[in-house]
Structure 1
Amino acid sequence: MKIAILGTRGIPNYYGGFEQCAEYLAVGLVKRGFEVIVYNSHNHPYQEKVWNGIQIIHCYDPEYKLGTAGQFIYDLNCILDVRKQNCDIILQLGYTSSSIWGWLMPKKAIVTTNMDGLEWRRTKYSEKVKKFLKWAESLGVKYSDFLISDSIGIQNYLKETYKADSTYIAYGATLFENNDDKVLNDYNLSAYKYDMLIARLEPENSIEIILDGVAKANLSRPFLVIGNHKTSYGDYLKNKFSSSSQIQFIGGIYNIEVLNNLRFYSNLYFHGHTVGGTNPSLLEAMASNSLICANDNDFNRYILGTDALYFKDQNDVADHLKNVNYVDESFQMMLSENRKKITNIYDWELIIDQYANHFRDIIEIKVNTN
């Protein structure tokens, strides 16, 4: 079976969640006997044509020149190329800049799309952009033969909104067990004597609410903000909280071992995401034995259940910071249960098997309906 993976900047991962998904998935599928193509931006750091048995096809990507508009051109270039590849299945990771070209997909291939989160709900977008994203979402449904949801919340939304069935396949993670407290020395930290968050610095990730709570708690222990802060919103946050010396804007960290160790040794790990499905950073926090305090919404509760603390506003954040101690025995069961979820539900090997089964199932459906 020949699979093409579209919708990312490419592998190996230098960028984010869908790229990491494409990397793990492609490697795992090759090991299971699939032939796999992954599309990469022409300026991706990896320039070879094969990586770990995966065929890499580089397509021109003018995002570096045109910004967001360049993503649409890149996706068009990928779709035009995949028409020549005689693939059995095309897996699209996301739909935002590709679904307008859905009508160009090769007719002989089966198109299955991971519908990502509810992009049109993101507060950073204008009303016009939100309308476009909602339309693009509908096109993603229209031009896909099958749909994948990475959370039960997204699965329910697609059923209610479009009467569309989808296969639930979560994002994956790998249990972190190689903890090393030497990483803390680079940041002048002591184990379990700091709190943190990791996120894109965007309004819908509750960054301001969390930091309002940190300022209100007025504790001396450091609070790490990990994520690119060299943006207009980052500047706003740095200016607003400049008098709160415990808040440290670290910037982006892309070394997964460093991130996992920082998560592992934190007192409280805040997850403020309000939009989307199974968020990769949340699973990584669970896998890293973090005591998680999450924004109280359905997407987060579907994953964490009773094995986390929750906040709705800055007062909740401040109360948790003042009253919660990671080493308290009462929280150890939460940590244990979250690690069990990674092993039994979200482990990458299980997720890859679910994708492989999905591909076999949709091939069988096509054969039986022809």
Structure 2
Amino acid sequence: MRIAIIGTRGIPNHYGGFEQCAEYLSAGLVKKNYEVTVYNSHNHPYQEKEWNGVEICHCYDPEYKMGTVGQFFYDLNCIRDARKKNFDIILQLGYTSSSIWGWLLPINSIITTNMDGMEWARAKYSKKTKAFLRVAERLAVLTSDHLIADSIEIQRYLKNKYGKEPVFIPYGATLFDEPNLACLEEYNVEPYNYDILIARMEPENSIEMILDGHALAQTNRKFLVVGNTNNVFGNYLVAKFKNNPNIVFCGGIYSLNKLDNLRYYSNLYFHGHTVGGTNPSLLEAMASNALICANDNVFNRAVLNENAQYFSTANDVAFSLLNIQKSTGLYNNMIANNRDRIANFYNIDNIVNSYAAHFEKITRERLAEKPQRVEKPQRANEPQIKLQLKNN
């Protein structure tokens, strides 16, 4: 079976959750003797044509020149290339910038889409952008043969809104069992004497609320903020908290081993994500013995149950910082329960097996019925769009 994965910037992961999923999923499927192609941005740091048995197809990505709008042209280029190849299944990870090209998806391939969270609910977007994202969500549903939801709540939402039953397949993580104190030296912190958050610098990740709580608590512990601050909101946060010597903006860290060690030796790990889905970074925190303090919402509670502290305000954050010490051992049951959850449910093998079972099922269904989606006829030798922009 030939499978293509589109919708990410590429593998190995240098960016985020979808890339992490594409990395372990593609490698796992290859071990099961599937032929897998992952589409990479042409300027991805990894420039080889193969990675761990996975074929890498680089497509032109003008985002570095155009900004966010360039993602739309990158997705178009990936889809155009996929039209030239005989993939049995195309797995779309997300839909934000690919949905408008849904009519171009090849009709001979089965299209299954991981719908991610409710993108239109993100606080960073304007009213016009949110309106577009609602349309994009609907287009993705209409142009996909099958849907995947990474959380039960997202599955319920999609079924109620569109009357289409997504398959539930969450993300996965691997238990971290090899801590190394030497990893802390780079960040000048002591074990269990610092707190941490790892997130994209976006308003809906509760970062400002968490840091406001840290300022209220006035603890002597350092607070590490891991994430690329090179955007408007990131710059705002750096400026707002520049006079707080205990808040350390570490920038992006892309070594999983470093991240696992920072989570493992932290006092409290804060997870502020609010916009739907099972977040991969939360699973990685659970897998690395972190004591978690999460934003109180249905998505986080569905993953953590009662095995975390929760916050809804900056005052809640301050209370947890002042009253919870991981080193006391009082919360070991929470940590152990989260590790069990990773080992027995959110483990990588389970996730790969779930995707493989989904692919086999939808292939059998395709053989039993004719495709329903209509596409515009493909033009022969259709070139990739490659924009030539003047440098300002």
Question: Is this a same-fold pair by TM over 0.5?
Answer: yes
| Equivalence for 2:37 | 37
Q: Cα deviation per residue 1:99-157 (whole Å; 9 max; x = unaligned)?
A: 11111111111100000111110110100000001100100100000000001111011
Give 1:42 shift.
Answer: 1.5
**5+ residue gaps in structure 1?**
none
Other structure's SS at 2:359 match: helix
| Equivalence for 2:11 | 11
| 1:266 maps onto 2:263 in alignment | no
Other structure's SS at 1:321 match: helix
Residues of 1 paired with 2:226 and 2:54: CA distance? 32
TM-score (norm 1): 0.98
Residues of 2 paired with 1:205 and 1:343: CA distance? 26
TM-score (norm 2): 0.92
Other structure's SS at 1:8 match: coil
Give 1:27 shift.
Answer: 0.8
Give 1:318 shift.
Answer: 0.6
Residues of 2 paired with 1:93 and 1:309: CA distance? 31
Other structure's SS at 1:9 match: coil
| Equivalence for 1:256 | 256
Other structure's SS at 1:96 match: coil
Amino acid at match of 2:204: E
Query: Where do 1:64-103 residues align within 5 Å?
Result: 64-103=64-103
| Equivalence for 2:206 | 206
Q: Which has the higher contact order (CA 8 A, sep 6+)?
A: 2
| Equivalence for 2:277 | 277
Other structure's SS at 1:327 match: helix
| Equivalence for 2:386 | none
Query: Where do 1:69-218 residues align within 5 Å?
Result: 69-218=69-218
Give 1:235 shift.
Answer: 2.5
Other structure's SS at 1:223 match: strand
Amino acid at match of 1:108: N
Other structure's SS at 1:85 match: coil
Residues of 1 paired with 2:216 and 2:116: CA distance? 35
| Number of aligned residue pairs | 370
CA-atom RMSD in angstroms: 1.1
Residues of 2 paired with 1:231 and 1:3: CA distance? 34
Give 1:160 shift.
Answer: 1.3
Other structure's SS at 1:365 match: helix
Give 1:366 shift.
Answer: 1.5
Change over 3 Å in CA distance of 1:186–1:49 after alignment to 2: closer
| Equivalence for 2:300 | 300
Give 1:261 shift.
Answer: 0.4
Residues of 1 paired with 2:139 and 2:163: CA distance? 14
Greater mean alpha carbon deviation, residues 80-89 or residues 37-46: 37-46
| Equivalence for 2:286 | 286
Residues of 1 paired with 2:341 and 2:34: CA distance? 28
Residues of 1 paired with 2:61 and 2:121: CA distance? 26
Residues of 2 paired with 1:158 and 1:26: CA distance? 26
**5+ residue gaps in structure 2?**
371-392
Residues of 2 paired with 1:40 and 1:215: CA distance? 41
Residues of 1 paired with 2:254 and 2:266: CA distance? 18
Other structure's SS at 1:196 match: strand
Residues of 1 paired with 2:172 and 2:325: CA distance? 28
Residues of 2 paired with 1:14 and 1:209: CA distance? 27
Residues of 2 paired with 1:94 and 1:249: CA distance? 29
| Equivalence for 1:28 | 28
Give 1:48 shift.
Answer: 2.3
| Equivalence for 2:373 | none
